[in-house]
Chains A and B, each alone.
Chain A
């Protein structure tokens, strides 16, 4: 997520909207357009629905702006709104989907064990197959892990903000993030290696 510029005084912008300068709301949300869409997409897996959920979330934020309290960050508040919106849509589609996972037991994830890992250059992302492999792997994470992973890794929120947005403890954030990373490593490392260009052996005689 693009961090808002230092000069942005969001509390002043919010006060302006609440005082009747409603157009300022467009300016207020601009840095979070991508974030909110990404959160919706990572839960809903459907671009059209994610876009609709993102729009609804911003409208809800506008409608409820008077309830925003400056002790939390505006961005965290927005994320909580889009999470609610997306979770509500998921529940309507898949009743019975719950968040009950065990954050306390050991239950470590065994990573893929490789010895020939070579760096997958980020240019590999120019290839559709590689982007698609990564999206599939992210989408296959169980929801509670996916939410934490997206907030921490894609949105670069810190542990505390993530805990606050999701309403869970910092310890759970750390545990879920670790497991999510290991699950992704397990799923993606073998696939990405097979997608990597064959390495030229420069000094085979050594």
Chain B
């Protein structure tokens, strides 16, 4: 199977997640071996995924956890304790 660049772009996610059928994967690899543009698209996509998943991109606001548990404790005083639904309360 000979793939053009556009086909290869459609397979990039499957390639990264390793969910392509063996013959498709082989064709993608064959294309990547001689196509500089598709190789760069693949590498840039992979790198961008690594960067976006980094915890430093989104940081928790300072004091978030403390405020959350304080509000929860307050709410738990006001809300009747939950019970398994269907059981008598």
Contact = CB atoms under 8 A, between A and B. Distances in A.
A47 interface: yes
21 contacts: A17-B81, A18-B82, A22-B81, A29-B72, A33-B60, A42-B58, A47-B61, A51-B67, A62-B72, A67-B85, A117-B44, A120-B51, A122-B50, A125-B51, A131-B56, A177-B13, A178-B10, A178-B12, A181-B16, A182-B9, A182-B45
Interface string A33-72: 1100110011000010001001100110011111100000
Contacts of B13: 174, 177-178, 181-182
Interface stretch (A84-92, A97-105, A108-116, A198-206): A108-116
Given A33-B64, A67-B85, A55 B6 contact: no
A29 B15 CA distance: 35
A134 interface: yes
Interface stretch (A74-82, A160-168, A184-192): A184-192
B12 A63 contact: no
Residue of B56, B58, B75 most packed against chain A (CB within 10 A): B58
Interface of B: 6, 9-10, 12-14, 16, 19, 36-37, 40-41, 43-45, 47-54, 56-58, 60-61, 64-65, 67-69, 71-73, 75-76, 79, 81-85, 87
A125 B36 contact: no
Given A25-B76, A131-B56, A111 B9 contact: yes
Contacts of A108: 6, 9-10
B75 A59 contact: yes
A59 B54 contact: no
Contacts of B41: 111-114, 185
Given A185-B45, A189-B44, A131 B57 contact: yes
Nearest to B41: A111
Nearest to B45: A185
A73 interface: no
Given A51-B64, A108-B9, A117-B47, 6 more contacts: A33-B68, A58-B72, A111-B9, A120-B47, A125-B57, A138-B52
A62 B80 CA distance: 10
B54 A62 contact: no
Contacts of B71: 55, 59
B84 A154 contact: no
A54 B49 contact: no
A126 B64 CA distance: 22
A132 B60 CA distance: 15
Identify the 8 closest CB pairs spanning chains A and B, nearest first: A178-B13, A117-B40, A65-B82, A66-B85, A189-B44, A185-B45, A66-B82, A117-B44
Nearest to A149: B52
